[in-house]
């Protein structure tokens, strides 16, 4: 079951709501409805689901409806029509008391403007949401201190917001949202007000925190690169409608329409493509099965000057060279261990192609793509250069 499920969600702003809603049901566009009724369609029949532990990014330009949509998920904005399910419960039909419980226990929100109280210390700011809920002083202090510790801010707990940088203030905002340990985190343009370098740091921090927290995060942004960096999946909005949902790779490779195509055409693919996208199936030897003679035969057969070596469970152990293998055969050696080199560069599947360029520049071996110690594939220099060259060629063509 999805953690969050949205069905035919509609928001109309204006007085002629019923007439506008009728036109929405008829499939009329935002422009047509505005012209006929004077009402604005903020969100037009949105449908999507978010899995537990997923970072789901909703992206669109200003006025696309993304902020309205995220505020309907906790009913800060009341939907005109449609359903919002959290853990299978329909929150769009809940009364005030039931909704308050959901907001207390399940959902927290982080806004673009950090919303910190200037006359409260960092600790008191972080405690605020718990204080409003009526949590006792000792418990809320413990929870707030734990959240600040996770955000690396505990040493600053007695300082005031104006004593911290913009990035640190946003971390306090994040810590405050996490203090009551919500299952779902809504983040509305949370990093947009930050300088580019601080923004990148905050993105890194969120990715790192998510490894430990495993929250369900719905993240709103107008920035495609931020979407591609953070999102497990991305929903692109235009004029209140969700026009495409997919992974970053799916959206870049198969844009749903001309609007999405224009949106993604300026993306630097080298900053999006990963080792997984360009790796090839590895040729390797298995310790205990292959000795120098088998290694030499296979290397000659494959035309390789070096070859990777793994354990029986495919854990990467290193590589051997053709010269040393040939020497081992002459000496009657039957084991590869003594000639095993362990200095092979390793990267995870999600390593970006543009980060691989410096790595491959001065090495003679391929780069091993490894996940949890297990060999997944290899990336050779020509593949990285080809991917970067293709990106450059496409940029020149588009320019």
pLDDT value at residue 263: 80
Confidence band for 399, pLDDT divided at 50, 70 and 90: very low
CA distances from 80 to 22, 70, 199 (A): 12, 14, 35
Which residues, 6+ apart, have CB-to-CB distance to 343 below 8 Å? 318
Which residues, 6+ apart, have CB-to-CB distance to 283 below 8 Å? 298, 302, 304, 307, 308
Classify 268 in phi/psi space as left (phi over 0), alpha (psi -120 to 50) or beta.
Answer: beta
Ordered structural domains, the chain, with CATH:
276-387 (3.10.580.10)
Q: What is the average pLDDT value for the chain, to the nearest integer?
A: 86
Pairing mode, strands 4-13 and 81-86: antiparallel
pLDDT tens digits along 222-270: 888 888 888 999 999 999 999 999 988 788 888 899 988 888 876 666 6
> Are the C-beta atoms of 144 and 109 separated by less than 8 Å?
no
pLDDT value at residue 269: 63
Percent of the chain with pLDDT over 90: 36
Over 80: is that where the pLDDT of 301 sits? yes
Helix axes 166-178, 122-132, angle to 10 degrees: 30
C-alpha 316/C-alpha 286 separation (Å) is 9
Specify the higher pLDDT residue, 384 or 395: 384
Percent of the chain with pLDDT over 70: 92
Confidence band for 153, pLDDT divided at 50, 70 and 90: confident
C-alpha 366/C-alpha 369 separation (Å) is 9
- The order of strands in the sheet holding 346-347 is 346-347, 367-371, 374-379
Specify the higher pLDDT residue, 225 or 106: 106
When pLDDT is averaged across residues 67-82 and rounded to a whole number, the result is 93
Over 70: is that where the pLDDT of 287 sits? yes
β-sheet bridge partners, residue 217: 55, 185
Specify the higher pLDDT residue, 154 or 385: 154
Joined together, the tokens standing for residue 6 give 């949205």
130 closest CA partner among 114, 113, 148, 156:
148
pLDDT tens digits along 311-368: 988 899 999 999 999 999 999 888 889 899 988 888 888 787 777 777 777 677 778 8
Specify the higher pLDDT residue, 385 or 307: 307
> Are the C-beta atoms of 159 and 209 separated by less than 8 Å?
no
């Amino acid at each position: 079951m999805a953690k969050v499920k949205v069905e035919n969600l509609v928001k109309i702003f204006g007085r002629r709501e019923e007439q506008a809603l009728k036109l929405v049901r008829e499939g009329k566009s935002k422009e047509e409805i505005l012209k006929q009724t004077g009402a604005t369609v903020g969100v037009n029949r949105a449908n999507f689901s978010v899995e537990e532990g997923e970072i789901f990014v909703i992206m669109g330009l200003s006025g696309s409806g993304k902020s309205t949509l995220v505020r309907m998920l906790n009913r800060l904005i009341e939907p005109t029509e449609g359903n919002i399910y959290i853990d299978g419960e329909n929150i769009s039909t809940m009364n005030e008391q039931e909704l308050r419980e959901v907001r207390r226990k399940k959902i927290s929100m982080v806004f673009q403007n950090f919303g910190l109280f200037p006359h409260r210390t960092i600790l008191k700011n972080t405690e605020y949401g718990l204080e409003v809920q009526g949590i006792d002083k000792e418990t809320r202090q413990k929870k707030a201190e734990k959240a600040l510790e996770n955000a690396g801010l505990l040493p600053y707990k007695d300082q005031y917001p104006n004593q911290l940088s913009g990035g640190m203030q946003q971390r306090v905002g994040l810590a405050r949202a996490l203090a009551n340990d919500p299952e779902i985190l809504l983040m509305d343009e949370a990093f947009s007000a930050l300088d580019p370098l601080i923004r990148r740091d905050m993105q890194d921090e969120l990715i790192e925190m998510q490894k430990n927290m495993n929250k369900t995060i719905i993240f709103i942004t107008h920035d495609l690169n931020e979407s591609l960096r953070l999102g497990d999946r991305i929903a692109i909005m235009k004029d209140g409608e969700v026009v495409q949902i997919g992974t970053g790779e799916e959206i870049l490779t198969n844009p749903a329409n001309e609007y999405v195509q224009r949106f993604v055409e300026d993306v630097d693919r080298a900053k999006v493509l990963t080792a997984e996208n360009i790796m090839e199936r590895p040729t390797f030897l298995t310790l205990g099965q292959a000795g120098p003679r088998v290694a030499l035969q296979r290397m000659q057969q494959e035309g390789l000057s070096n070859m990777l070596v793994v354990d029986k469970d495919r854990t990467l152990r290193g590589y051997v060279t053709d010269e040393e293998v040939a020497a081992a055969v002459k000496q009657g050696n039957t084991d590869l261990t003594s000639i095993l080199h362990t200095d092979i560069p390793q990267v995870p599947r999600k390593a970006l192609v543009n980060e691989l360029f410096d790595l491959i520049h001065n090495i003679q071996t391929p780069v091993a793509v490894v996940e949890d110690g297990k060999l997944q594939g290899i990336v050779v220099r020509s593949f990285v250069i080809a991917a970067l060259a293709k990106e450059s060629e496409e940029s020149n063509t588009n320019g």
